[in-house]
């Protein structure tokens, strides 16, 4: 049996009280209309959200948005990890790739939207912005991860006469794994933000579109529902990555 220490138990209890208080406050403000009609009670939002008649609407919007998020997450992740590995292996390319990444990062994604709309199409700009957001986080995480192996470990490999490839596979990659997984965790909300922003720039489907049109048409429960779905999706993926992170940290650090 796993015993939870007293302190940890207290932390969990306090956290639960905090979340319950937040949800309770949300409900209370909504029921008593303390913030006006635009703040609905939590139960009203949930009832709206789970109403069978709106199932198709939400499923369609959610699958459109989440597939953009997922595609951007995978594309950005692969691009970030691969390019960081390339920068690590081919030193002449290192600085140029680093600068390019930080230049791209310093452009706010809203400023890239016109470009994406021109080059791609309105439908894909969500994925493109998600890709860029995720790319930068993973490029940086992988880069610092690949530098994480200690001098002593490198010396062992040198003394044993290891070649570059063996060193990467047997030493640097496992040493980089914790940083990469942490990067993947923090990239989750970034991917969601990217996809939503992209959809605001004129997509014809998705939760981002739902938010904007609900905002403009005073469809308050619809607006809150779309925000709730997006937040829940991000939170759950983040939680999942936290579990993976915990496993990797226990195994590789």
Partner 1 sequence: MPGILKTAFNRYWGVLLILVLWQAWVTIGELNAIVMPQPADVVVDLVGNPGIYLKNGVQTLALAGGGLLLGMAFGSLIAIACWFSRLATGMLVPLAMIFSSVPVVALIPVVARLLGYDIKTVMAIVVIVSFFPAFVFTSAGMRALPPGSEDLFQVLGASRKSRFRHLVLPAAVPNWMIALRLAAPSAVLSAMLAEFLMGQSGLGYMFRAAAGDFATERAFGTSVIATAVSVITFTLSQRAERAVNERWR
Q: Please say whether the beta carbons of 30 and 18 come within 8 A.
A: no
- Considering Cα of 24, then 28, then 30, then 31, what sign does the dihedral take? positive
Residue with tokens 């970030």: 80
Q: Tell me whether residue 108 or residue 161 sits nearer to partner 1 (CB atom).
A: 108
Q: Tell me whether residue 177 or residue 241 sits nearer to partner 1 (CB atom).
A: 241
Q: How far apart are CA 80 and CA 141, in angstroms?
A: 9
Best CA proximity match to 150, nearest among 169, 181, 175: 175
Question: Which residues, at least 6 apart from 22, have a Cβ–Cβ distance to it below 8 Å?
Answer: none
* Minimum distance, C-beta of residue 112 to partner 1, in the bound complex (Å): 7
Interface mask (CB under 8 A) for partner 1, residues 104-143, using x and -?
Answer: --xxxxxxxxxx-xxx------------------------
Residue 92 touches partner 1, criterion: CB under 8 A? yes
Interface mask (CB under 8 A) for partner 1, residues 14-33, using x and -?
Answer: xx-xxx-xx-----------
Q: Tell me whether residue 174 or residue 189 sits nearer to partner 1 (CB atom).
A: 189
Q: CA dist 231 to 51, 141, 196, 235, Å? A: 19, 24, 11, 6
Residue 200 touches partner 1, criterion: CB under 8 A? yes
Among 8, 9, 28, 38, binds partner 1 (CB under 8 A): 38
Q: CA dist 239 to 8, 59, 94, 98, 233, Å? A: 18, 22, 33, 30, 10
Residue 182 touches partner 1, criterion: CB under 8 A? no
Q: How far apart are CA 219 and CA 225, in angstroms?
A: 10
Residue 2 DSSP label: P
Residue 230 touches partner 1, criterion: CB under 8 A? yes
Q: Please say whether the beta carbons of 143 and 84 come within 8 A.
A: yes
Among 44, 46, 89, 97, binds partner 1 (CB under 8 A): 97
* Minimum distance, C-beta of residue 38 to partner 1, in the bound complex (Å): 4
What's the token pair of residue 10? 């207290």
Applying CB under 8 A, the residues found at the interface with partner 1 are 10-11, 13-15, 17-19, 21-22, 35-36, 38-39, 92, 95-97, 99-101, 103, 106-115, 117-119, 188-189, 192-193, 196-197, 200-202, 211-212, 214-215, 218, 220, 223-224, 226-227, 230-231, 234-235, 238-239
């Amino acid at each position: 049996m796993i015993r939870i220490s007293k302190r940890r138990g207290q932390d969990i209890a306090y956290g639960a009280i905090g979340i319950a208080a937040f949800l309770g406050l949300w409900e209370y403000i909504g029921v008593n209309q303390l913030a006006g009609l635009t703040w609905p009670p939590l139960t009203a939002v949930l009832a709206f959200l789970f109403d069978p008649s709106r199932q198709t609407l939400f499923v369609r919007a959610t699958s459109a948005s989440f597939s953009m998020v997922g595609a951007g997450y995978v594309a950005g992740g692969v691009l970030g990890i691969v390019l960081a590995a390339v920068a690590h292996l081919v030193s002449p390319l290192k600085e140029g790739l680093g600068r390019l990444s930080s230049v791209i990062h310093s452009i706010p994604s809203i400023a890239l939207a016109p470009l994406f709309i021109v080059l791609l199409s309105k439908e894909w700009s969500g994925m493109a912005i998600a890709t860029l957001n995720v790319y930068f986080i993973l490029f940086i995480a992988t880069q610092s991860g690949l530098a994480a192996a200690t001098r002593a470990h490198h010396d062992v490999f040198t003394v044993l006469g290891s070649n570059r490839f063996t060193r990467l596979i047997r030493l640097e990659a496992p040493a980089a794994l914790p940083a990469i997984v942490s990067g993947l965790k923090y990239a989750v909300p970034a991917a969601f933000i990217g996809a939503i922003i992209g959809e605001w720039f004129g997509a014809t489907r998705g939760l981002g579109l739902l938010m904007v049109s609900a905002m403009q048409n005073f469809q308050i429960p619809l607006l809150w529902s779309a925000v709730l779905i997006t937040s829940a999706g991000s939170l759950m993926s983040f939680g999942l990555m936290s579990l993976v992170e915990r496993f990797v940290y226990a195994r590789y650090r």
